[in-house]
């Protein structure tokens, strides 16, 4: 049993009805990634998966991170190959952690071993910084400014 509450609704993984949204990342080492997200963000490891196709699942705040090795193509995506980031500086999508107190998160997560690209910096609508995870993924950490609900 694993659930999160968003607004008035409860979401479960796996969902008994409807759907729950997770974030998948291809990793070099499932256990290393699971431990990183557990230690830095207080994530809860639901399963480490196995070597025959089951991925690791980590619940973090309102969502789940699914981690597994690369590979493919597979019959359900016959042209697609999964790999860890080949160039960590060329990015299209990433996990975005919106926080209530960015300076507190910066200090806490740094003390737990997170590597930040820079300290939090002022931007239009928000204060922002980025973490690199063990495979080189960037993770945005951002706090919207008081006048911006969605900065």
Instruction: Enumerate residues 3-32 that contact other proteins by CB under 8 A.
Output: 3-7, 9, 11, 13-26
What gap in Å lies between CA 39 and CA 81, rounded to an integer? 29
Asked if 121 is part of the footprint of other proteins (rule: CB under 8 A), the reply reads: yes
Asked if 81 is part of the footprint of other proteins (rule: CB under 8 A), the reply reads: yes
Q: How far is the CB of 35 from other proteins (least distance, A)?
A: 17
Query: How does 51-67 read in b/e, with b if 16+ C-beta sit within 10 Å?
Result: eeeebbbbbbeebbbbb
Sign of CA dihedral 14, 19, 22, 24: positive
Asked if 51 is part of the footprint of other proteins (rule: CB under 8 A), the reply reads: no
Q: How far is the CB of 48 from other proteins (least distance, A)?
A: 10
Q: How far is the CB of 20 from other proteins (least distance, A)?
A: 5
**Helix or strand holding residue 63 (H, E):** strand 63-68
Q: How far is the CB of 76 from other proteins (least distance, A)?
A: 4
């Amino acid at each position: 049993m694993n659930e999160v509450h968003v607004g008035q609704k409860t979401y479960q993984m796996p969902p008994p009805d409807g759907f729950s949204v997770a974030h998948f990342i291809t990793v070099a080492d499932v256990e290393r990634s699971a431990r990183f997200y557990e230690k830095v963000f207080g994530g809860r490891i639901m399963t480490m998966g196995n070597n025959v196709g089951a991925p690791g699942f980590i619940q973090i705040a309102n969502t789940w991170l699914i981690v597994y090795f690369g590979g493919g193509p597979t019959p359900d995506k016959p042209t697609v190959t999964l790999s860890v980031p080949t160039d960590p500086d060329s990015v299209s999508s990433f996990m975005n952690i919106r926080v209530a107190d960015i300076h507190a998160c910066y200090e806490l997560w740094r003390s737990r071993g997170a590597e930040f690209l820079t300290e939090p910096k002022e931007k239009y609508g928000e204060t922002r910084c980025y973490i690199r995870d063990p495979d080189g993924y960037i993770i945005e950490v951002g706090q919207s400014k008081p006048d911006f609900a969605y900065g």
